[in-house]
Each structure stands twice: as structure tokens, then as C-alpha cells.
Amino acid sequence: MTGMLPKQVFLAPMAGITDKPMRRMVHAKSGGDVALISEMVAINALSRKNAKTYRIADVRDEPYPVIVQLVGADEVLFADAAQLTAELGAAGIDINMGCPVRKIITGGAGSALMKNPEQAAKIIKSVKNAVKLPVSVKFRKGWDNNSVNATDFAKMCEASGAEFITVHGRTRAQGYSGTADWNIIKEVKSAVKIPVVGNGDVTSPQSAAEMIKQTGCDGVMIGRAALGAPWLTGEIAKYLKTGSLPQKQPAQEVKNTLLKHISLLTEYYGEKLALALSRKYVCWYSKNFRDAKRFRENYMKINDYQAAVAEINAYFDQNGEEE
């Protein structure tokens, strides 16, 4: 434990990415040294017992702690969803108040709650009253540069009972573009007593250490940098503990990791859907390798599992040298 944090390094919740196969990969590669958060779970869909949403929320068969992230705008539905999520094995509840996607904010959820701190407070208190699990909140710098309110929002989260908070140093208007403002993370850290996790532009062990140095944050969260690199969060965790820099992943290790990832996707989703999903992973895993464009083009034409495995083996064995 780091203060009241489950771990110092977190894998960020990413819709369509941090599913059970991805969590298993990161857990295995990190030796259990990384806090895992689910894809965001929509409380409205969960209240309707939507099968796909229910499956995302159900983490009972995972042999490691998983924090489940909930997104929505209604405090009553939030309480019900939190209770159900607890029954489904969640180790903690993370409340999404930072998602910038239009379909989320249109319903008053995600980063739209940064414009409605009174409702945000009701939600946090409602979840706290509903479950005995740790409750955290993830939010942004603000709605836009004319309404930067992360510090006041953080104080509200603390007063409402959040055990820790995660601050993404971009506004909703930025989305995922531009540069994350680490100064706002520093300001938030100075304003509250609960642990603060910094998020945004952490792409390496060194940048994670630099964020902590600059902001004083208690932990770091890694999102897009982990795509095609499930070992990265573990490398960051090790570096922060020991100062030991990792060696570059050999091509054969990258190949074996990709094959294992696709095997887990197939086990979880079935072959047809897994092959479709694997296309984005192939792009991410091969991004730093020679002749990757041709490999990706060939892979996109494949619709058979054994052919996919053969194509991956052939590429990394014959042409898989890093650029």
C-alpha cells in the first residue's frame, strides 16, 4: 500500500481496451505490482441488466483485485450500481467524472459533472453510503481553459468521502490532444490530504518519476502508452521502487506476448470477435518494428485464427527487427 492507494502505479480505465484479457496481461507482466481498473461501466445499462455491461462489471473470477469504474449522472442509480458491482467482486469503485466523449457528457455524466459539482458530491456520497469498498474519483483539469476548477473539485471529492482521486492534466475541451498540465496536479496535491494519482503524458519509467518529482503526486496512471506494451506499467513500478531501468523487449518476447494476448482474447470473446479485436493490437504491438505497414495490411485480410498465428510468427521471425 502507498498511503491509501492500492498500488503506486495504475493501469488507466480505457473503454474497449482494459478488458479482462488486457488486465491479465498487465498483471502477469507486472508481477501483480500494478493497480487494475476495469473499462467504464455505464450505470444506466447495468440497471437494465444489459448482458454486455454486466459481463464487464463481473470480476469475480479474476484472482487479483480489480477496481470497477462506473459512469453516469444519477445518484440513486449510482448507489444501486455500486452495490451490484460490489457483489460482482469489485475491490473498489472508481467514479468517472473525466470522460470527454460526447455521448457520455450529453447525459450529464463524465466530465460534464465538473460543471455540476453539487451533483458530483451527491453521487460520491451516495456511493459511499451504499458500499464499504474504497471509493475514488477520476476527473480532469476542468471543462475548458476558461473553467479550470480541478482544485476546488478535488476538495469537494475529499469532503464527500473519496479515498483518493486521479487528476488528468487536460481539460475536457482538449480531449486527448495537446500536452497534459502537470502544474494542475501539483496544485491539487497541495490542496487536499487524500492521495492524488497523476495522469497524462506518462510514457516511460523516467517520465513517471518526473511527474512525481514535479507534482508530489502519490501515484501515476498510465493509459495510451500501455497499448501494445502490457509490460510498461510493471517496468514503471519497478523503476519507481528500485531505480532500475528496463531493457528493451526483444522481438521474440513481443511476439510471444502478442500471441498470448490474442489467445486470451479468443478465450474470452470467441474466435470471430477476437480476430476482429486483435487487429488493433497487432497495430500497437508492431508499431516500432520494421516493415510493419505491410504486416498490418496482410493481417487485416486474415479471418482464421491459425492463419493469424502463422502470420504473426512469420513476421516477427523473419522481419521483426526494430526500426
Percent composition of the chain: helix, strand, coil (DSSP 3-state, to 5): 50, 15, 35
* Single-letter amino acid, residue 116: N
Active-site residue flag, 283 = no
Catalytic residue among 99, 157, 217, 283: 99
Residue 227 has a CB neighbour count (10 Å cut-off) of: 17
C-alpha cell belonging to residue 200: 497524462
- Through-space distance between the first and last CA atoms of the chain, rounded to whole angstroms: 39
63 Cβ neighbours under 8 A, 6+ residues apart: none
C-alpha cell belonging to residue 56: 464487464
CB 277 within 8 A of CB 19: no
CB 97 within 8 A of CB 111: yes
Strand segments, DSSP code E, in the chain are 9-11, 35-42, 66-71, 92-97, 135-142, 164-171, 196-199, 219-222
- Beta strands 92-97; 66-71: pairing state: parallel
Phi then psi dihedrals of residue 188, to 5 deg: -65, -45
Of the candidates 53, 50, 59, 55, the one whose C-alpha atom is nearest the C-alpha of residue 23 is 59
Residue 293 has a CB neighbour count (10 Å cut-off) of: 10
- CA 11 to chain centroid: 5
Catalytic residues: 99
